[in-house]
Amino acid sequence: MTEEQTSKTMTRRGAVGAVATGAVVGVAAGLAGGLAIGTPASPPPPPALPAGTRRFVGKVVLITGGTSGIGRAAALAFASEGAKVAFCGRRQNLGHEVEHEIRATGGEAMYVRADVLIEGDVAGFVDATVRRYGRLDVAFNNAGMTIERPVHEYSAAEWDAVIHTNLRGVFFAMKHEIPAMLATGGGNIVVTSSSNAIATRERRSAYSASKRGLIGLVQAAALDYASQGIRVNALVPGTTDTNLVRGGAGMEHVPDAIWRVAANEWAKSHVPGLGRLATPAEIAQFALVLASDAHPYMTGAALVIDGGKTAHAG
């Protein structure tokens, strides 16, 4: 399957679970017909940190899937705390926009076009990072995608595309990141899994299998390298309000106000607890927590940040 063909059937993302698009589109149709839905919740304030927090000064951070969504928010956040950030993605225009945004605020960043499906791209990305900045301290392996089908309707190519992007892509990244970290005495690896690794829904078998597989990969790798100074942990986010989620819902061209109402309405029934989608900045800040040196005893963990989505008993 070519990239052009796959772009018509799959949604790549900086790591969020697939949205139940039918519910959201249904709300949009109701709004168009005059249905009273109610006022959406106000967007939450950005995560608060102590003024002048600079946990990553002198650190080199590598991010896969860094051109949009959670990955983009993480690139900006790491850079704002002093990191030298190298990030990859396939969409060059978005990559250069993020690179420019970081540099315009005095940060240091390098965008490299790379596809995690291609081991040579991943190896080249890691090599370029080490050549540019001299070392690698933190890796945030965040690139992912989904295709939604009942199990028997997946083609082998579609199934492989999900598993290879989400699971094999992280293997490629870790395979090349780890030697770079070992060369300088260790580092931290954070992997984006999903709440679908814990509790999933229909039509997500490939996505859920890949994201659950990442938990096993993280646990085993944590044991492989604990004695060599590398910690490996999984970030387990719930559904996050990104442009790709909005596009997957078929609402990329509707006014923002309608999107907010639709997303809020979906979250009321799908995110028991906080009842809203996460923001990319909220998830990114949790990635920074896991990547920091503040918790040296934590490795092999899978930490959930999903607004209560998977706590629901029913």
| pLDDT single digits (tens) 193-252 | 999 999 998 999 999 999 999 999 999 999 999 999 999 999 999 989 976 667 656 787
For position 37, what pLDDT does the model report?
43
98-128 pLDDT, tens digit per residue, is 999 999 999 999 999 999 999 999 999 999 9
Q: Taking the chain, what is the end-to-end CA distance rounded to the nearest angstrom?
A: 39
- Given pLDDT bands bounded at 50, 70 and 90, which one contains residue 275? very high
State how far the Cα of 59 lies from the Cα of 61, in Å rounded to an integer. 6
CB 278 within 8 A of CB 239: yes
51 pLDDT above the threshold of 60: yes
Q: Please tell me the distance from the alpha carbon of residue 88 to that of residue 116, in angstroms, as a whole number.
A: 9
pLDDT at position 42, please?
58
Distance of CA 23 to the CA centre of its chain: 23
Cα separations (Å) of 229 from 60, 84, 103, 147, 303?
16, 21, 31, 36, 20
The answer on pLDDT for 286 being more than 80 is yes
pTM: 0.86
Whole-angstrom Cα distance, residue 81 to residue 54?
Answer: 4
Architecture of the domain delimited by 55-240+278-304: 3-Layer(aba) Sandwich (3.40)
Average pLDDT, the chain: 87
Backbone angles phi, psi at 140, to 5 degrees: -115, 100
Q: What is the token pair recorded at 172?
A: 């490629």
- What residues contact 290, with CB distance under 8 A and at least 6 apart? 188, 190, 233, 235, 298, 303
Told to judge if 207 belongs to the known catalytic residues of this protein, a careful annotator would answer yes
Give percent helix, percent strand, percent coil of the chain, each to the nearest 5. 50, 15, 35
State pLDDT tens for residues 164-189.
999 999 999 999 999 999 999 999 99
Burial level of 256, CB count in 10 A (0-12/13-18/19+)? Answer: exposed
Exactly one of 111, 133, 154, 207 is catalytic; name it. Answer: 207
> What tokens appear for 217 in the block?
């990969």
Task: Provide the pLDDT for residue 52.
Answer: 73
Distance CA 171, CA 15 (A): 16
Inter-residue contact 195 to 187 (CB < 8 Å) = no
pLDDT of residue 245: 66
